[in-house]
Structures are given as C-alpha cells and as structure tokens.
Structure 1
C-alpha cells in the first residue's frame, strides 16, 4: 500500500517549479502518492479512496450524451410541436434553442477540460459561485435523472404493448430495472461501449429518416412532389390557445419550451469528463461532435417532418406512447410505406433503454460529486475496485421503482408531478453552468491565470455565457405560462413545483450553513485539475 500525505491544494503548490510527476496528481480526496509506488499499489489506493477511473474515450462521451438526449420526447414530441406552432414556428424554435444549448456547451467545455470532474454542474457552481447554488442544482438535477429512469422503464412497457397489448407493464418495469441497474455496476468502459451501440441505432434511424424524407418531399411517395406545400397550406405558423399574431407567438414559445426539454441530455458529456481518458483532448472534441451532431439530427429531422406531414394531420393529436404517435410513422403512412411502424417502434424501445442506461450513470455521478463537496452523505463516495460508485448507483436506481406508481390512476397523478420536476431540472442546470462559467472567468482573472492557458478556449465570452443565462432563466420562468391563459391551480403547481423545490433547497442550505458567495481570489482552481503532470504520468504508465 502506498504511503500518502496531505497535499495542500493551492495554486502556489503548482508554481513552485517542483517536477512532481505522478506524485502531484490531485484526486477527489486532495491527496498525492509519493514517488516509488507501483501501478498495483496505486490501483489499490484508488479503490480505497473512492476514485473514478478514466476509461471513457471521446466516442463514449459522444454517445452517452446522444443517448441521453435522443429519447421518446424527440421521436414522439415533435408531433405536438408541429400542431402548436406550425412548420416555420416549430423549426425556428428548435434552431433558437439550439443556439442556447451552444452557449451552455462552450461554457461547460472551458471548465470541464481544465477541471474534469464527475457531476460537473454542482461542483462548478459550488466552487465558483455559491455552495448553496451547487447544493440546489446538484440535488434537483440528480432527482431529475433518477425519476426519468422510472419514466424510461414505464415507456419501455408501453412500447412493448404496441406488439402485445396483454403484456403487464409491471413485469417489463421489473425486468428492465434489474438489467440496467446491473449494467451500471460494470466497469465504465464496458458501459460506454454498450451505450455507444444502443445510441448508434437511434442515430442510424434518424439518418435513414432524413434520406427517406428527402425522397418523399421530392416526389417518391404516393402524394407526389411535396416541397414546401404544407408551409403554404395549412400555413407556416399556427395559432395556439388564442387567435391572431399573439396566438402564433404563444405557439412558437410553447414549442421553444418543449424543444429545450428535448435537447436536455447533451450536457452529459460534462458528467463523463471525470472518467474520460486524456480530457484535454477528448472532452473538447466530444463537446463539438455532440453539439453539432445533435443539432444536425434535430434540425434536419424537424425540417423534413414539416415538409412531409401537414400540421393539421389528425394523427398528430394521437396521445399514444408507442410508434403510432410518431411523425416519422405518420409520414410513412402518408407515403404509402407500411413496414415502417414496427421498425420505428423497435427503435423507440432502444431509445428508452439507452436513456435508462444514461439516467442511472449520470445520476450516480452527480450524487458522487455532491458527496465529495460535503453536500451529500459521505457513503455516496464509496467505489469498488473498478471505480464504480456502488452506493450512488443503488440510490439512483432505487428511484426507478417509482415507475410502479404509474400502474394505478392515483399513483399516475403523483408520477406526472414528479416528472414535471425533472423537466425543469435540466434548465436550472443549463443556467447554473453559464453562471458558473462567469464565476470561473472571474476566478481566473483574480488569480492571474490567463484564459489562453486553458486547454479549450471558446469565443465571445463572457457574452456567450450571459446570453445562455438570460434565456435559460426566461424559459424557466415562463415554461408554465399557458396556465395564466386558461387558469388551473393544479396545473400551476405542476408546472412550477420544480422552481419552488429549487428555491427551498437553496434557501434551506443557505440558512443552515450560512456560507457566503465564493470569493474569486480564493476559488478552488486546483482540486481535480488535469494538467501536464498527469499527462506525463499517464504516458509513463503510473496512473
């Protein structure tokens, strides 16, 4: 067993000129190992102190994020979006929200390449803005992914009922809960490979639909050449809830809120940064590929849907949770292709199973980060010899059992309320990421570290962060605005319970601990930093 000693995590320790090599590598516990320890003893020390292992490649990070983003909301939700806003309003909404996502991703990129840590969002908010903000964001984000795990299991049962209506959803929930909980106890490299293949099926399907949509729009279907026919009739913009220009704007804004939920999951590349190999190279590349890949798939698919499916098609109002509600299937029916529904339903199944896989992974890493910052019980820091946070995985997976609430009507109401919390949790995370980046820039300036020293430098800062923060907060505050048009008290609390919970978490932590906002001059820019010392040690086979 290697001998350890406390390592004072201050910038001065790195500027002393001492070539510490592998011994100067900071881990989550703020310790260094003395020179002379071999690889085996280092691994044992890692397992004892609850450290993650860097086994994820860039492609793993890409597909973890894509798998968490492209789910049933994308395959099914685009239909209701088309009904609300019309083809032009729908397309503009998705592009605009994509620009907000871009601001979040580049802010995340600068921080995650300099300090790659699991559960990045709560950790950065705690370090650079306010510990109470990190506490509230972390716990809300964890709960969002934990409850989404339950949603994914329920959705899997509904999709299987498309082929066999007599199947008991409870059995499906139980089987998949066991499978994907166990998968998350495998070494993270195996998890990354599995997620890559599951996500690949979704990407292949979307690319196939893009090719199919182009052919149908060009006249390959039984309706002849379509082009932009449906943009002219029934029209480019639809009215929603009210009439006139205001009604068209309401439709546009409703879809923008829906699009922001659909894009959530792209930020998971930051969650995996703490387990990425050579994060200086893999994380920036993963962020670029993930963002542009998701943007292309979302916008191209939405654009073609608006061309091949009219916004007044009655099948778009189908509230089913299987393939029959998908605009991709509706487009196939209108074109005279009969085999596609079964294919799309199979892809939907892989989509929700991939999402379930990502839900447990991301939730457990957020819980680990909270524990490392002293904002969750220390037991959640415990890992096995493969670097898997065993207790955090178990706690996150346990929430998947809430899916059984959906088997009864009364329990279903509770379940839907819980899902409303998860929908806004992603927006609070996006907003806090932009705010954390602003604090990160202030800390760099106060401690005399030029941005040019960062492994990844984005453009137009801090204006990009300000842009993302403003619109994320605006969408959060207005995401339930339709209840004010047609007032319903229950719907109001269902829409805003997540913001109420966030405020309670923040205020409760602030009143209990009374910690001040972070001083940029003393902000922690060292702990967990992946620098040239670690690259050298990794090259020598020490880490």
Structure 2
C-alpha cells in the first residue's frame, strides 16, 4: 500500500487519488501503472509462458491417438503408407499453424481463432465454429474419463468404469480452477511424462531393431515382408487398394494431429504474446510432428502390418503397438508400465480439454455468441463458470454404463471426429480474410509481430486439402452404401450447417467487409503494459514483498 507523506501538498494528494480512481475505472489495480506487474482482477491473467502453451497443446494432442490408434493406421496402410500419410497431414498442420501464428500474435485474445471468424469473415461462421469446437473438446473430456476407467480395468476387469470416472473427474476439474500459472505448471510436468515415454520407446526400438530382442536383427525386414503398403477395401486393383489405405490413414492422422492448434487458445493468457506466441506455436508444431513421425517409423520397423493384434482398436495396453513390439521382442514387463503411462497420457489430455473448452466459451461470450455470464472471472483470473460448464459435459461419460447410452455416446463422439477439420478449414479462411482486411485498411504485413512466409498460398493449400479430407472422410459409407454410416460420418457437417444457418436466420448477420473488420480490439500494443515476463528472482522478490 502506498503511503502519502505527511508534508505532501493537498493538491498533490487529490491528484494522485484522482489518478487512482481513473485507473480503477479502467480496470487497473491500485498500484501505479509503472509498477504494475500483474493484470487487474476480473480479467484473464497473462501468466502463461511459452513452455506452458506448448505443453497444454501437447497434452491435448499427444494421447491415445499415437499410443494406441497408430497401430491401426499401420494395419490400414502399412508402415510406409502410414508414415507418408502422417507426414502429409503434418504439412497441412504446418500451414495452419503459420496462419494461426500471424493472427494470434497480432490479436492475442481469449478464444483466439474461434473469434477471428466472427471478426474477419462472418459472425455466423464464428458462432457455428466456436460452438461445435467447444462441444468437441468437452465431449472429448468425457471420452478421456471413459478411457481412464478402461485402462484401470486392465488390472481388474471386475471394477466398474463409473468408479474411476468419478475419481478422476473431481481432481481434473479442480485443477482447472487453479490460477492459470499453476495450471500451466501442472500441465507442463504431467504432459512431459508422455514425451519422455515416447523418447524412451525410440531408444528401445533402436536396440530391438539392432538385434537385442528374440527376433534378432530386423532392419527393414517388415517393409519387404509383408510389405511397405497395405491394401484396404478394394480387392481387384492392388494399386488402388494401397491408395485407399493411404487416404483412410490421412483421416486417422488428421484426428491424431487435432489439438495442435490449442496453443493459440491460451493467447489471451500468454505473457508477452508478441514474443511468446510465435515461439510457442513453432515449438508446438515441430514437437508434435517429430513425436508422431518418429513413433510411426519405429512401430513400422518393429511390427508387421498383418499382426493380428495391431489393428484391434482397443483402449488399454493390450492394443498398444508399443506393447506389441515389446512382446514380439520377448520383453515381458513392459505392458504394465505402458498401461500406467497410458493413464497419465489420458489424464493429461483430459485436463487440457477442460482448459481449452472453457477459454473457447469465454471467447464466444465476449463476441456475443454465448451468454454473458460465461465471461465472469474470479479475482485469481479463472473463468469459473466456463470451467464448470465445460467440466459438467464430462459427466456424459456415465452414459457408457448402459448399452443404449453407449450407442448415443458413440454418436456424440463422431461430432468430435470432424470438428477439428472444420476448425482447420476455418482458420485458413480467417487468415485469408485477415490479410484482405489488412490490405483494405492500409496496414502493411511487414509491421506485424510475425509474418507467415507462405502468406495466402500456404493458407489456400491448407484450406483446399482440409476441405477435401472433411468431405471425403466418410467414403467407406459408400463402399457399399450404408445410410447409418453416412450420417455417423457426416453428422458434424450437418450440425455445423444447422448452427450457421440458424444463427444467420435469427440474427440476419452479414459478411464482414474487409474495410470494416475489427483489427484493433485486443491488438498486442493494447496489452503491452499488462504483459509480463520476469525472472524467478524478481518473482520471488515481488512475492516476498507482497507477503511482508
């Protein structure tokens, strides 16, 4: 607390008091702006560092998709087919992340890309995109809770998954009510476990491939027998069958990569976003890309694609290609270790789901696309109502305790499957609209904190292929025609169209003209005084002074 000297002139006292009052009216704390090091209460606090943002995205992306479903990808397309599919989708993600980096560094706002659609393209697009994206991550939270219960059943199948849904829902929800810097630390260390586990698997794979295991030296034997590419669905044309397998894995790879864009969801809480966001986005992409490509490569040289267990699609360690590789090598102890790691993988992803979903809700509320009460934020910078609403959807996991409920839950999960592709397509559209708005308002891209080197060409590349994959991801429903499979595959697109059309009819919103696009609110200069990035020594000094 600042104390006024006894001999200070009365006018000076009044002036300083007036300054404090004006600062409070603008949402600042009672400290002078020059000394302000923390954001004011009732606002999202900018305390996430680059590593926090990076591992929140890794936590939400690197999960059962790489630890379990990667085996199904190899069974579908073969080791080289799966590797090429993941690499190709990686180039799409790269294009998307560069587009996202350019916008998120210029406008580091809560909800990030779900708000860009409303600002640069069409409020109805922002509404539809934001709500389907929020629903996908909140439902994924329920999926991860269910997966956690199934993983526990590996050790005791008599236990109901309902027990563990409750056990894990409570602490994971509670973690999201912590101040964002503490949550960031939690996610950093929790998500680090899966990174260490995958790097350990790479080292293990090199040893096994060199001849340490029961199979002796392997080299690239499985790329020759049974082969580098696996045929899929088509029987009378070998080349077409291999291409169909490759295309099917493109969709699986896309699902695996979904969540990479979550690094931008924390833009509204990033410290010094001009520096933090580009660094976090670049590191996030290359980290996830390396983890996926290296893991797929090593699985492909250790396990043949025609192995009877690799494509079963289960949830626990018995279906993990990492475990199958160990079993083929004669290593007996690894399944229990992998299952324990899988549990941490799932729980890390679950906590990231709640964080991302809650910030999307805040962004929707700030754009007028959701009830205003979702904007309410505690004095510690936590959007507690948005967190509660997102975590409550996780309770839908209990539907899996009954047969009929489980079928409904599976339908809901199909909305999750395509929502990521829709979001990626919309990010590219937003970037194209963003560049048009800059040109219309005579703002040079050279003045931006970060510039995507590919510009509109890279954004168009990402948009075209994301749109093609989104439209063709349900092609198996046509081979042969199956009405139920068609609706399961395309329910996300149907829901997206309904949300967009409904909002357009009710609000009569219009396409945003480039010259009228909002390029000011949330601009990085506006938060420069609130951004902070301090050394551990200065943090401890400030904390000590506050306590004393």
Q: Same fold (TM over 0.5)?
A: yes
C-alpha distance in structure 1 between counterparts of 2:37 and 2:487, whole Å: 49
Q: Are 1:481 and 2:475 counterparts?
A: yes
1:37, CA displacement in angstroms?
Answer: 5.9
Secondary structure (helix, strand or coil) at the match of 2:524 reads coil
What residue in structure 2 maps to residue 318 of structure 1? 312
What residue in structure 1 maps to residue 108 of structure 2? 116
C-alpha distance in structure 1 between counterparts of 2:169 and 2:29, whole Å: 44
C-alpha distance in structure 2 between counterparts of 1:138 and 1:536, whole Å: 27
What residue in structure 1 maps to residue 91 of structure 2? 99
Q: Does the 8 A contact of 2:414 with 2:492 survive in 1?
A: yes
Q: Does the 8 A contact of 1:57 with 1:276 survive in 2?
A: yes
Q: Are 1:341 and 2:335 counterparts?
A: yes
Secondary structure (helix, strand or coil) at the match of 1:314 reads coil
C-alpha distance in structure 2 between counterparts of 1:24 and 1:314, whole Å: 71
1:427, CA displacement in angstroms?
Answer: 0.9
What residue in structure 2 maps to residue 217 of structure 1? 209
Against the structure 1 CA distance between its residues 191 and 231, is the aligned structure 2 distance closer, same or farther, given a 3 Å change threshold?
A: same
- Quick one: which of 75, 89, 109 aligns to 1:83? 75
Query: Which residues of structure 1 form unaligned runs of 5+?
Result: 1-21, 26-30
What residue in structure 1 maps to residue 169 of structure 2? 177
Q: TM-score, normalised by structure 2?
A: 0.90
- Quick one: which of 404, 429, 438 aligns to 1:435? 429
What residue in structure 2 maps to residue 157 of structure 1? 149
C-alpha distance in structure 2 between counterparts of 1:23 and 1:85, whole Å: 66
Q: Deviations over 1:497-525 (max 9, x none)?
A: 00000000001111111111111111111
What residue in structure 1 maps to residue 344 of structure 2? 350
What residue in structure 2 maps to residue 55 of structure 1? 47
What residue in structure 1 maps to residue 357 of structure 2? 363
C-alpha distance in structure 1 between counterparts of 2:445 and 2:22, whole Å: 23
What residue in structure 2 maps to residue 208 of structure 1? 200
1:46, CA displacement in angstroms?
Answer: 4.0
C-alpha distance in structure 1 between counterparts of 2:437 and 2:275, whole Å: 23
1:237, CA displacement in angstroms?
Answer: 1.0
Q: Does the 8 A contact of 1:23 with 1:33 survive in 2?
A: no
Q: Deviations over 1:194-213 (max 9, x none)?
A: 11111100000000011111
C-alpha distance in structure 2 between counterparts of 1:358 and 1:278, whole Å: 22
Secondary structure (helix, strand or coil) at the match of 1:430 reads helix
Secondary structure (helix, strand or coil) at the match of 2:260 reads coil
Against the structure 1 CA distance between its residues 317 and 124, is the aligned structure 2 distance closer, same or farther, given a 3 Å change threshold?
A: same
Against the structure 1 CA distance between its residues 288 and 84, is the aligned structure 2 distance closer, same or farther, given a 3 Å change threshold?
A: same
Q: Deviations over 1:234-273 (max 9, x none)?
A: 1111111112222111111110000000001111100011
Q: Are 1:294 and 2:294 counterparts?
A: no
What residue in structure 1 maps to residue 391 of structure 2? 397
C-alpha distance in structure 2 between counterparts of 1:107 and 1:317, whole Å: 35
C-alpha distance in structure 2 between counterparts of 1:450 and 1:310, whole Å: 53
Q: Deviations over 1:469-520 (max 9, x none)?
A: 1111111101111110122211111110000000000011111111111111
Out of 76-85 and 528-537, give the one that drifted further.
528-537
Secondary structure (helix, strand or coil) at the match of 1:267 reads helix
Q: Deviations over 1:28-71 (max 9, x none)?
A: xxx94589864799899943xx4200011111011000000011
Q: Does the 8 A contact of 2:96 with 2:424 survive in 1?
A: yes
1:319, CA displacement in angstroms?
Answer: 3.7
What residue in structure 2 maps to residue 4 of structure 1? none
C-alpha distance in structure 2 between counterparts of 1:131 and 1:374, whole Å: 9
1:229, CA displacement in angstroms?
Answer: 0.6
C-alpha distance in structure 1 between counterparts of 2:321 and 2:478, whole Å: 29
Against the structure 1 CA distance between its residues 271 and 421, is the aligned structure 2 distance closer, same or farther, given a 3 Å change threshold?
A: same
Q: Are 1:238 and 2:230 counterparts?
A: yes
Q: Does the 8 A contact of 1:67 with 1:351 survive in 2?
A: yes
C-alpha distance in structure 1 between counterparts of 2:171 and 2:29, whole Å: 42
Secondary structure (helix, strand or coil) at the match of 1:233 reads helix
Q: Does the 8 A contact of 1:82 with 1:306 survive in 2?
A: yes
Q: Does the 8 A contact of 2:99 with 2:431 survive in 1?
A: yes
What residue in structure 1 maps to residue 62 of structure 2? 70
Output the aligned Cα RMSD: 2.4
Q: Does the 8 A contact of 1:23 with 1:35 survive in 2?
A: no
Q: Who wins on radius of gyration, i.e. which is larger?
A: 2
Q: How does 1:31-50 map to 2 (within 5 A)?
A: 32=26, 38=32, 46-47=40-41, 50=42
Query: Which residues of structure 2 form unaligned runs of 5+?
Result: 1-19, 543-548
Q: Are 1:465 and 2:445 counterparts?
A: no
Against the structure 1 CA distance between its residues 383 and 305, is the aligned structure 2 distance closer, same or farther, given a 3 Å change threshold?
A: same
C-alpha distance in structure 1 between counterparts of 2:515 and 2:86, whole Å: 39
Against the structure 1 CA distance between its residues 526 and 313, is the aligned structure 2 distance closer, same or farther, given a 3 Å change threshold?
A: same
1:317, CA displacement in angstroms?
Answer: 3.1
Q: How does 1:126-145 map to 2 (within 5 A)?
A: 126-145=118-137
Q: Does the 8 A contact of 2:46 with 2:532 survive in 1?
A: no
Q: Are 1:308 and 2:309 counterparts?
A: no
1:165, CA displacement in angstroms?
Answer: 1.4
Q: Are 1:526 and 2:542 counterparts?
A: no
Q: Are 1:278 and 2:272 counterparts?
A: yes
Q: Does the 8 A contact of 1:24 with 1:533 survive in 2?
A: no
Q: Are 1:426 and 2:430 counterparts?
A: no
Secondary structure (helix, strand or coil) at the match of 2:306 reads coil
- How many corresponding residue pairs? 514
What residue in structure 1 maps to residue 9 of structure 2? none
Against the structure 1 CA distance between its residues 318 and 38, is the aligned structure 2 distance closer, same or farther, given a 3 Å change threshold?
A: same
Against the structure 1 CA distance between its residues 214 and 539, is the aligned structure 2 distance closer, same or farther, given a 3 Å change threshold?
A: closer
C-alpha distance in structure 2 between counterparts of 1:108 and 1:85, whole Å: 31
1:320, CA displacement in angstroms?
Answer: 2.6
Secondary structure (helix, strand or coil) at the match of 2:227 reads coil
